[in-house]
Structure 1
């Protein structure tokens, strides 16, 4: 059926009673077909035809509304599918990003560090907190920061080094300066108490800024430094030296356990001070000091 382009509700019945229509209808008048009968049949015919147009118009309007509703539902479905596809893409991107993150174990709450330090060869950990690796506190001391400022001005950022991405198992090129230890670095047990107090804040802030470090790990390390600050041993001769030695051993051991791939290794809670181990370190230090005094 051809589409109706004009609303029949706007149409009005012609004035069949007008002189013009009466004049036109007079030619049709017969003895059995009066003028009034002709006019009435014309009105009835127009009304019947107009009603058909109204019915067809109403059906067309209803059909248009149904089609528009269907189109709207289709658009809504397409929008939902597009939004779902975008969310799935974001989920996949987050999952891919999570795969590349270095993995760190959860530590066992209230589990103290071992009484004895593990025997190990000396090693240098990469100066990248984001890789969850051990790094000397010296890098956050005033001397360390000053040295970093000099290196930033002199080191070339265009020289690249081949490194391994532990998260995805792929090789990456990164600035070589990021993997070069300072020749001026001082071991944790050799720095002063003042330098440790300054550096620990910088280290904790750097860890907190890295999304790879869980908040509970940063809080645990912060508690560790607070326990050292408040320890009674600081009031005794060489006590701070013993606490520095304890810090150097335990923090390295903690971070190595966090990164361990051995399922048997359960990282300890670094915030719990092992007084037995600390006492052994202090006694050994006193013995060394006494031996040094006798040697003079």
Structure 2
């Protein structure tokens, strides 16, 4: 259907009295029709035709308005969809940011100036605990904490080449090797230091979101060690026996937990 270009409501009826239409008027004049009647007939024909065009024009205007409203509605829906996608992407990115850097988003607590010194083990030990892996208690001794404080400016995630026993080399994090020469096995710790690090270790695994039953298990285990009758004996081997026992049991527990975690779920 051809589109109407001009608004017929603005059209003006031609002046059929003028000489321009003299020939047309003459063709309509006869014994039953005067020249005046012929001019009126021409006006009536024009108006009837123009009225028909007005109807088509209004229909065209209505269709155009409907199409424009539909286009605007679709544009609005598309814009809302894009906005929602952007919001969803920002929420996902924000969640990832909070997940990666959760300490950055922890609410600021209204607390006074702490009186106790901050005890922060090295990131190597913290990462092991985050995974639930075994880590030596030495990292929570005064020497271990001092080591972490002295070298905290070194990037723990920096990768360095390490030589294995078979002379092969492998890339490892600097944090996993820089204190290796100083680390003392649990069974070789002085009993006083063992008693000192237990509360620090328990606090750290709580902050690492270890399950409460695991934390209680470790606390109960170490409490039984520290109140055992061997602690009061003069024989130095007595306390050494307790340290060897707790070291072996803790290593065995981690090994068993890791083995069970790899079993297929039935």
TM range (shorter): 0.5 to 0.7
TM-score, normalized by length of structure 2? 0.53
Aligned-partner SS, 1:160: strand
Cα contact 2:141–2:196 (8 A) shared by 1: no
Q: Which residue of 1 aligns with 2:18?
A: 24
Aligned length: 205
**In structure 2, distance between residues paired with 1:150 and 1:245:** 30
Q: Which residue of 1 aligns with 2:204?
A: 202
TM-score, normalized by length of structure 1? 0.48
Aligned-partner SS, 2:161: strand
Residues 249 and 7 of structure 1: CA distance in aligned 2, closer, same or farther (over 3 Å) = farther
Q: Which residue of 1 aligns with 2:110?
A: none
**In structure 1, distance between residues paired with 2:201 and 2:48:** 97
Aligned-partner SS, 1:161: strand
Give per-residue Cα distances to partners, 1:61-93, cap 9 Å, x unaligned: 52674487479659968968x95xx98xx8xxx
**What is the deviation of 1:197?**
1.4
**What is the deviation of 1:250?**
3.3
**In structure 2, distance between residues paired with 1:3 and 1:224:** 85
Residues 238 and 261 of structure 1: CA distance in aligned 2, closer, same or farther (over 3 Å) = closer
**What is the deviation of 1:148?**
1.8
In structure 2, list runs of 5 or more residues that go unmatched: 97-123, 164-169, 233-237
**What is the deviation of 1:55?**
1.5
| Aligned CA-pair RMSD | 4.9
Structure number with greater CO (CA < 8 Å, separation at least 6) is 1
Q: Which residue of 2 aligns with 1:47?
A: 48
**What is the deviation of 1:58?**
1.9
**In structure 2, distance between residues paired with 1:162 and 1:54:** 89
Q: Which residue of 1 aligns with 2:184?
A: 186
Q: Does 1:252 align with 2:246?
A: no
In structure 1, list runs of 5 or more residues that go unmatched: 95-125, 164-171, 209-216, 267-296
Cα contact 1:137–1:200 (8 A) shared by 2: no
**In structure 1, distance between residues paired with 2:171 and 2:76:** 46
Give per-residue Cα distances to partners, 1:112-141, cap 9 Å, x unaligned: xxxxxxxxxxxxxx8541554311122123
